[in-house]
Amino acid sequence: MRLLLVEDDLPLAEALMSLLVSSGYAVDCVHDGQAARDLVAAEQFDLMILDLNLPELDGLSVLRAMRAQGNRAAVMILTARGAAEDRVRGLDLGADDYMAKPFDVREFEARVRSLLRRQAGLRSSTVTLGALTLDLTTRQFSGNGHPIDLPPRERALLELMVMRAGKVVAKEAIVQSVTSLEDILSDNAIEQYISRLRRRLQPLGLNLRTVRGIGYILEPPGDPT
């Protein structure tokens, strides 16, 4: 999952970046509204965490421009402006959640997970494909009831494939979803990650198939393709 953090308080931005990256998310961070507006127009994100009091362009203007462009990525407003009129205005402009500073980190993490589940159209906190289970609360995998320990990049890639099981995922979509702008992910690196995951999934009855020239598809058990 790829997130955009828009926060001009540098110590807070650094702390949130560290928290989110350690949870396995690909995160980009900008510190002013103009940069945020430009970035969401050019890149795809699953969730934007947006401050309101920003230099160059305020957060509500960023949100308004984003929704006017038809961008439906989830948005959590995270701001010191906690007055009812600010919350109402933000939600009316298309924000999905609103959290006032100061905040509890555990609640923040839970809300991020909830928004990403909602964005993926999931109601349950777990996703099961045959013998493979993804716990969306902890973002941990298990196979046949046993934990599967994965490096962060492989975990992010498998999460993406599970969330889009049965659909072809293009290489470009993989790069967009599991890397930030500072990361470089070559075709060879993607193929290596896919190969490692394929070996892990085969004993669980899942097929991670290459669709030549396009990308990859995770086929659920019993899929005739």
Question: pLDDT over 90 for what percent of the chain?
Answer: 45
Tens-place pLDDT, residues 12-40: 999 999 999 888 788 999 999 999 999 99
Which residue ranges form the domains of the chain, and what is each CATH number?
2-119 (3.40.50.2300), 126-219 (1.10.10.10)
Locate tokens 């989830």: which residue?
A: 74
Q: 135 falls in which pLDDT band (50, 70, 90)?
A: confident
Beta strands in the chain (DSSP E): 2-6, 26-30, 47-50, 74-79, 97-100, 126-129, 132-135, 140-143, 146-148, 168-170, 207-211, 215-219
**How large is the angle between the packed helices 152-163 and 187-201, nearest 10 degrees?**
70
- Burial (CB < 10 A; 0-12, 13-18, 19+), residue 199, is exposed
CA distances (Å), origin 180, targets 26, 30, 46, 81: 5, 12, 12, 29
Residue 104 has pLDDT above 70, yes or no: yes
